[in-house]
Structure 1
Amino acid sequence: MKLKYNRNSELEIAGFGLFKPGAIVEVDDETEAKRYLDSSYFDEVKKRKKIVKVKKYKTKEVNKNATRK
């Protein structure tokens, strides 16, 4: 589980260590992750699904009855 430090200043948290703004911590143990989240200094980083954009092409309709000038 990835956790992100959510403060704007550098801070040493007792029992966890020194963290800078935007620092990300990877924790494998659920109880350890709960300790980090309960301290309110960290937020869970959720995985985003990658969005694939598909270009849609417009087809031009040809009017066969139109006359050319």
Structure 2
Amino acid sequence: MTAITTVVTIAEILKNSGFALEKMVATSTVGMKDETKGRMVQKAKIEIVMGKTENFDSLMTATEKH
């Protein structure tokens, strides 16, 4: 599983559970040095900005009681 897959999965779980709202999703590529080959390679990057839902605090309280 890649890091991007993990981030997207966690964001979906938070949304589907009612804990968070998705505010923005941005994708891009960044140049990174490949340590084994010594050259620059392009890597995918994702940024997901989320915010709390109105009922976040009550959901957290209910979760902590279990």
Same fold? TM cut 0.5: no
- Which entry has the higher C-alpha Rg, 1 or 2? 1
**Higher fraction of strand:** 2
**Higher fraction of helix:** 2
TM-score by length of 1: 0.24
